[in-house]
């Protein structure tokens, strides 16, 4: 059993996004935890449960997998009762040897009035707080 990704609260360098890894299942690459965004067109966004995934690669220098670096993705979405809007944040990146995550984020938002927003959240480093 590997010890990466390390459970904990990962905070973006701009402090606007957090990604809590509560558990990571190495058999299927599913990450359970919480994703938070401090801002969106409708206020803060929180998603809980299966909020991410990861996939190891064979590390040639160490002669094994289950070690950093490897790919990781996470995010969250919300569509409240009555479906007045839907918002979806997706981050994709790499889990690094220093237990930080370097990721690029994108957000899509559509509301009942036909407003559409698709925008980059930037490239940010997430570190354990």
Q: String of b and e for 88-123 (b: at least 16 CB within 10 Å)?
A: bbbbebebbeeebbebebebebbeeeeeeeeeebee
pLDDT digits (tens, 9 = 90+) for 59-93: 999 999 999 999 999 999 999 999 999 999 999 99
- pLDDT above 60 (res 16): yes
Q: How are the residues of the chain apportioned to helix, strand and coil, as percentages rounded to the nearest 5? A: 0, 65, 35
> Rounded mean pLDDT of 101-107?
98
What pLDDT does 1 receive? 41
Q: pTM for the whole thing?
A: 0.94
User: What is the C-alpha separation between 101 and 67, in angstroms, rounded?
Assistant: 14
Q: What is the mean pLDDT of residues 42-54?
A: 98
CATH class for the domain made up of 8-128: mainly beta
* Element of type H or E holding 129: none
**Do residues 61 and 69 touch, judged by C-beta distance below 8 A?**
no
Question: pLDDT for 22-46, tens place per residue?
Answer: 999 999 999 999 999 999 999 999 9
- Residue 32 CA to residue 45 CA, distance in Å, equals 17
The dihedral of CA 75, 79, 80, 81: what is its sign?
Answer: negative
Mean pLDDT along residues 3-32: 96
SS3 for 106? Answer: strand
Cα separation of 109 and 89, whole Å?
A: 9
The confidence score (pLDDT) of residue 63 equals 94
Question: Which pLDDT does position 2 carry in this prediction?
Answer: 54
The residue ranges of every structural domain in the chain are 8-128
Structure confidence at residue 66 (pLDDT): 92
Q: Output DSSP code: residue 16.
A: S
**Distance from C-alpha of 49 to C-alpha of 32, rounded to nearest angstrom:** 5
């Amino acid at each position: 059993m590997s010890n990466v990704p390390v459970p904990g609260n990962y905070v973006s360098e701009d402090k606007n996004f957090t990604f809590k890894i509560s558990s990571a299942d190495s058999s299927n690459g599913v990450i359970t935890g919480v994703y938070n965004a401090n801002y969106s067109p409708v206020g803060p966004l929180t998603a809980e449960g299966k909020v991410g995934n990861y996939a190891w690669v064979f590390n040639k220098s160490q002669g094994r997998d289950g070690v950093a670096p490897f790919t990781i993705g996470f995010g969250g979405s919300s569509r409240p009762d009555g479906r007045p809007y839907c918002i979806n944040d997706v981050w994709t990146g790499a889990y690094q040897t220093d237990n930080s995550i370097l990721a690029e984020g994108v957000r899509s938002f559509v509301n009942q009035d036909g407003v559409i927003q698709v925008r980059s959240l930037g490239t940010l480093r997430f570190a354990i707080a």
